[in-house]
Amino acid sequence: MQYQDLTQQWPAFSDAILAFSQQLGLCKQGNLKSEALWCDHVALRVNDIAVATSLLAEFKQRGEVISDSMINGRPIYIIVLDEPVQLGDWQIDCVELPFPGKYYPQQGWEHIELVLPGNATTMAELEQSLRMVSPNIDAVLASDSSIKIKHSAPQAAGETLANPTIAFKQGDICIKVHSAGIKAVVASETAA
C-alpha cells in the first residue's frame, strides 16, 4: 500500500463515511458542516511495519509530524497536512497513522473523529453532548444491530487532557466522537 492507493480509496471511503454519518444523525444529506461538531482527523489502518514506515515517509513529504506517541504499546503518528483532504464540507488537515498492533481485515482509511461541543471530561457528559447533536441516536442504535459501539479513553504518556471517546463501527468504517481535538490533545502532552 502506498499513498497513491489511499488517494484512490478516498472517494469510496468518503461516500461510506458520509452515509454512515447521516444514518447516525451526525449530518444531514451528506452535509457535515455544522456549528455543533467538526471533523478533527482521519485515521488509517495498516498491517505491516514496512508499509507504515513507507506511508510515514510519504506523509512527511506532504505535512508535518506533530506527535509520535506510544499508545497501547505501539507508535501512533499525527501528521498535519500541507493540503487538507475534503470530506463533505469539511477540510481535514490531520491524519492519524498508527503502526500495526494487530491484524486488520482491510488496510487503508478506517475512521474519522468528530469533536462534539461541551468539553466533556466524562463518558456521561460525552453521551449527553452526543444526544444534543443527534437526538435520535438511541433509536438508530436500537434498530440496527450491525452498528458496534465501543467506549474508551485512549491516552498517551504525559497527556493531561481528558478525552473520552465513543466509537461507532459498521463493517470496515468507523466514526469516533470525542470532546477534544487532536491538536489540543497533542498540546496537552507537551504541556505536561
Residue 68: is it exposed, middle or buried by C-beta count within 10 angstroms (0-12/13-18/19+)? middle
Share of the chain above pLDDT 70, in %: 89
**What confidence category does residue 190 fall into, taking pLDDT thresholds of 50, 70 and 90?**
low
Overall average pLDDT of the 108-120 stretch:
88
Residue 7: is it exposed, middle or buried by C-beta count within 10 angstroms (0-12/13-18/19+)? exposed
Give strand ranges (E) for 29-181.
Answer: 38-45, 63-71, 74-87, 90-98, 108-115, 148-152, 165-170, 173-178
Instruction: Say which residues have a Cβ less than 8 Å from residue 140's Cβ, sequence separation at least 6.
Output: 23, 24, 25, 134, 147
pLDDT in tens, 87-112: 888 889 999 999 998 877 778 999 99
Q: Which domains does the chain have, with CATH numbers?
A: 3-191 (3.10.180.10)
Q: How many CB atoms lie within 10 A of CB 172?
A: 15
Q: When comparing pLDDT for 129 and 11, which is higher?
A: 11
**What confidence category does residue 33 fall into, taking pLDDT thresholds of 50, 70 and 90?**
very low
C-alpha cell at 158: 504525559
Q: Return phi, psi of residue 171, to 5°.
A: 65, -125
- At position 178, the amino acid (one-letter code) is H
pLDDT in tens, 45-89: 999 999 999 999 999 999 999 999 888 788 999 999 999 999 888
The pTM of the full predicted model, rounded to 2 decimals, is 0.87
Residue among 162, 137, 142 at smallest CA distance from 152: 162
Indicate if the pLDDT at residue 4 is higher than 70. Answer: yes
pLDDT of 157 reads 57
Helices (H), the chain: 3-23, 49-60, 123-133, 137-143, 182-191
pLDDT of 134 reads 87
Say if residues 155 and 141 touch (Cβ distance below 8 Å).
no
- The continuous run of DSSP H or E covering 121 comes out as none
